[in-house]
Amino acid sequence: MTATADIMQRYRQVMFPAAAPYHGDSPLIAERAKDQYIWDIEGKRYLDFFGGILTVSVGHCNEEITERAITQLQKLQHTSTIYVNESMVQLAETVARLAPGRLQKCFFTNSGTEANETAALAARMYTGSPTIISLRHAYSGRSLLAMSLTAHGNWRLGGVVDPYIKHVRSPYTFRAPAGLSAEQLVELCAQDLEETIATTTQGKIAAFMAEPIQGVGGFIVPPADYFRRILPIVRAAGGLFIADEVQTGWGRTGDKWCGIEHWGVEPDIMTFAKGMGNGSPIGCTIATAEVADAVNGLTFSTFGGNPVTMATTLATLDYMQAQDTPGNCARQGAHLAEKLAEFAAEFPSIGEARGMGLMQALEFVQPGGIEPDAARATAFVDTCKEMGLLLGKGGLYGNVARIAPHLNVAAADMESALDIIASALAEIS
Ligand SMILES: Cc1ncc(COP(=O)(O)O)c(C=O)c1O
């Protein structure tokens, strides 16, 4: 029995099966990683173009960041939010400086789920309304509230949902009703939002929550005018706008620190997690001062603001600024997008290549139509893994391959990945 088979046999005895690893009969058991590479316990090296779900944002075991984490670990590890540490204040100052608009006050937690919970709580307390509108194809996390905000049947477990959450049409152009242009789809989305507010609420809502590009949904990029058209409807119903930047933050979409900056609107609340700490567990909710101040009861997170996480995240953001991750994502992302568009033209099983910056996807379909082909997407991602490249999967139908390398990916690694992608597409076609 191989070491992998042995560990997997033990894994199945002691782990919930719901946390299913990728790659079916050949799961990857990770042993170590450095920068762009990860090694499994059999000694095989992989180029990592998924970064632990867009989380290892500037390379595995990044030396500058690791050093600052170790220094902090040796100095002060934990206080809880009942005592203040300076890193927490510095991090909040940095996030407020880099985030757009009037976003000013932070609340730190440990995950995207908790960041979204905090955002929903703040919107509800500020407006006095319980209703939150979310998008179909959204993924918001795994608490009861976050699963309710999520609109992927597969990720909504337990059968219990928050009754005050309503879902409206996603601006998913590839799966728009036949014949609709992007402009017509935006109108349809606006109409659906208006009707949802009119028919399921008494005219007032707490918030509209959306990802600037839907991540787990399969990197769904909205038409450029979508948010500008939607937000006045939200505001007219007294609602705040919560931008979930858990996947899109920190330069990922190219040129801007936050994905929402591409769409010409300003959120009242924004949430971050994943790549913000390069693998350290962090959630961050930032809000305008008046919204943050409306959370006027008591709440705390034991590990939120943990000095080690704060120091690690600060080091990550310092590194990103020094490396200009938005600029690198724009440059490398443009090249990646161009190549993926060529593959889409060549292989009829690719229904669409889409994305922004270093958030690029291939949606697999039955050739000649738009019927999702999840089996081919899985075969593609598994073949890439066999060839030494790690990619992600996504989409409501499981038919989207997600390509999201580190924000500081080098041109040579991009070429290596593109070679493997080309070979894998040829092999599965
Ligand atoms: C956009 C978005 N929001 C929230 C979450 C939840 O984050 P976490 O898994 O850290 O709780 C995710 C996770 O994939 C996400 O993609």
Give percent above pLDDT 70 in the chain. 100
Pocket test for ligand 1, best of 132, 140, 396 (most atoms within 8 A of CB): 140
Residue 232's contacts (CB-CB under 8 Å, 6 or more residues apart) are none
Cα 262 to the center of its chain, rounded Å: 16
97-142 pLDDT, tens digit each: 999 999 999 999 999 999 999 999 999 999 999 999 999 999 999 9
Give the containing element (helix H, strand E) for 317: helix 307-323
Q: Is the CB of residue 363 less than 8 Å from the CB of residue 349?
A: no
Q: Is 3-62+324-428's fold the same as 63-323's?
A: no
Going from the C-alpha of 296 to that of each of 103, 265, 289, the distances in angstroms are 18, 27, 12
Measured over the CA atoms of residue 274, residue 223, residue 352 and residue 377, the dihedral's sign is positive
Which residues pair with residue 354 across a beta bridge?
361
38-86 pLDDT, tens digit each: 999 999 999 999 999 999 999 999 999 999 999 999 999 999 888 999 9
CA of 52 to the centre of ligand 1 (A): 12
Specify the residue with its C-alpha closest to ligand 1, atom 1. 246
- Pair of tokens at residue 91: 């991090």
Residue 298's contacts (CB-CB under 8 Å, 6 or more residues apart) are none
Specify the residue with its C-alpha closest to ligand 1, atom 4. 140
Give residue 25's pLDDT. Answer: 87
1 pLDDT band, cuts 50/70/90, is confident
CA of 209 to the centre of ligand 1 (A): 13
Give residue 305's pLDDT. Answer: 95
Q: At 121, is the secondary structure helix, strand, or coil?
A: helix
Distance CA 325, CA 317 (A): 10
- How many alpha carbons lie under 13 Å from residue 389 in its C-beta half-sphere? 25
Residue 192's contacts (CB-CB under 8 Å, 6 or more residues apart) are 168, 169
215 pLDDT band, cuts 50/70/90, is very high
Which residues pair with residue 132 across a beta bridge?
165, 207
Q: Nearest-CA neighbor of 379 among 364, 368, 396, 369?
A: 364
Give the helix ranges, DSSP H, for 43-181.
Answer: 51-54, 63-75, 86-98, 112-127, 144-149
CA of 273 to the centre of ligand 1 (A): 7
Q: Is the CB of residue 402 less than 8 Å from the CB of residue 391?
A: yes
Residue the block writes with tokens 């092999």: 427
φ and ψ at 172, to 5 degrees?
-95, 90
CA of 368 to the centre of ligand 1 (A): 33
Pocket test for ligand 1, best of 53, 139, 214 (most atoms within 8 A of CB): 139
Pocket test for ligand 1, best of 253, 274, 309 (most atoms within 8 A of CB): 274
CB burial string 116-143: b at 16+ within 10 A, e below: bbbbbbbbbebbebbbbbbbbbbbbbbb
307-345 pLDDT, tens digit each: 999 999 999 999 999 999 999 999 999 999 999 999 999
Specify the residue with its C-alpha closest to ligand 1, atom 8. 112
Across the range 170-182, mean pLDDT stands at 96
Give residue 81's pLDDT. Answer: 84
Say if residue 420's pLDDT is above 90: yes
- Pair of tokens at residue 63: 């030396």
11 pLDDT band, cuts 50/70/90, is very high
CA of 134 to the centre of ligand 1 (A): 14
Give percent above pLDDT 90 in the chain. 97
Q: Ligand 1: residues whose CB is within 6 Å?
A: 53, 111-113, 116, 139-141, 211, 215-216, 244, 246-247, 273
User: In ligand 1, which atom is closest to the CA atom of 142?
Assistant: 11
Q: Is the CB of residue 395 less than 8 Å from the CB of residue 218?
A: yes
Report domain 3-62+324-428's class: alpha beta
CA of 227 to the centre of ligand 1 (A): 21
Q: Say how many residues make up the chain.
A: 429
CA of 141 to the centre of ligand 1 (A): 5
Give residue 80's pLDDT. Answer: 87
First to last CA, the chain: 32
- What is the third-level CATH fold of 63-323? Aspartate Aminotransferase; domain 2 (3.40.640)
Across the range 78-96, mean pLDDT stands at 94
CA of 54 to the centre of ligand 1 (A): 10
- How many alpha carbons lie under 13 Å from residue 29 in its C-beta half-sphere? 15
160 pLDDT band, cuts 50/70/90, is confident
- Tell how strand 37-40 and strand 30-34 pair up: antiparallel
Q: Nearest-CA neighbor of 392 among 401, 384, 383?
A: 401
CA angle 71, 75, 81 (to 5 degrees): 115
Q: Is the CB of residue 332 less than 8 Å from the CB of residue 411?
A: yes
Residue the block writes with tokens 């600060």: 314
CA of 145 to the centre of ligand 1 (A): 13
Q: Is the CB of residue 308 less than 8 Å from the CB of residue 69?
A: yes
Pocket test for ligand 1, best of 247, 252, 303, 309 (most atoms within 8 A of CB): 247
All structural domains of the chain with their residue ranges = 3-62+324-428, 63-323
145 pLDDT band, cuts 50/70/90, is very high
- Pair of tokens at residue 404: 């999201």
Distance CA 219, CA 253 (A): 11
Q: Is the CB of residue 61 less than 8 Å from the CB of residue 85?
A: no
CA of 111 to the centre of ligand 1 (A): 7
Q: Nearest-CA neighbor of 246 among 220, 207, 285?
A: 285
